[in-house]
Amino acid sequence: MLERPIPAQTAARKTMLGVVAALATVMLWSGWIVGTRHGAVRLDLAAVSVLRFGIPALVFLPALLKTGLFPRGVPPLSLAVMVFGAGFGFFFTAAFGLRLAPAAEAGPLMPGTMPLFVALLAVVFAQERLGRRRGLGFLLIAAPLEALFWTMGAISAGGALAMAAAAHARRLRDP
């Protein structure tokens, strides 16, 4: 079956929607890093965690009351891994890392190390083979991160390691 060509107006609208979505993603992610760094340096981590988890909990309270606390069909162990690994674990490890390292280093480290940790988990736990192209791709991700580690001071590198660990905790949610 032949597909009809997309009118230019529809294609332009889809492209604009994609650009707006990409910009929103970058703004949210960078805003989270800068805001968490600011809060982690100036406030106690418990206070920052109340802001991070308390406000969204209040916003979603009506939906929570309607659907219940535990999602249907999710095994308790998976739920515990998501909450403590990808939720609290990610936040506290990232906030600790942001106390020690500047926000500019978190930008490439946290999202950049996520695919590396996913690959490591796949190799170790699922006995998956990376192959040449994927291995080269991961090397191309790791090389600039390694260069970033070499240019940091010891305290900053400790923060970077904590942020990399946070990226790993975040990936526990979706192995």
Give the Å distances, CA to CA, from 30 to 27, 37, 39, 146, 154: 5, 11, 14, 22, 24
The answer on pLDDT for 41 being more than 80 is yes
Task: Between 142 and 2, name the one with better pLDDT.
Answer: 142
Q: For position 46, what pLDDT does the model report?
A: 85
Q: What is the pLDDT of residue 85?
A: 73
How high is the pLDDT of residue 23? 94
Lowest mean per-residue pLDDT among 27-41, 47-61, 134-148:
134-148
Whether 72 has a pLDDT exceeding 80, the answer reads yes
Res. 168: pLDDT tops 60? no
Q: What is the pLDDT of residues 84-133, one digit of tens each?
A: 777 777 788 888 888 887 888 787 777 777 777 778 778 888 888 888 89
Helices then strands, counting H and E runs in the chain, come out as: 9, 0
Among the ranges 23-27, 75-79, 164-168, which has the highest mean pLDDT value? 23-27
Which DSSP category does 72 fall into?
T
**pLDDT, position 9:** 74
33: pLDDT strictly greater than 80? yes
Query: What is the predicted pLDDT for the residue at 24?
Result: 95
- Give residue 130's pLDDT: 84
User: CA–CA separation, 40 vs 49, rounded Å?
Assistant: 9
Contacts of 25-28 with C-beta under 8 Å, sequence gap 24+, read none
Amino acid 20: pLDDT: 96
- Rounded CA-CA distance 102/156 in Å is 7
| pLDDT class of 3 with cuts at 50, 70, 90 | low
Query: DSSP secondary structure string, 107-166?
Result: HHHHHHHHHHHHHHHHHHHS----HHHHHHHHHHHHHHHHHHHHHS-HHHHHHHHHHHHH
For the chain, what are the domain ranges?
Answer: 29-67+75-171
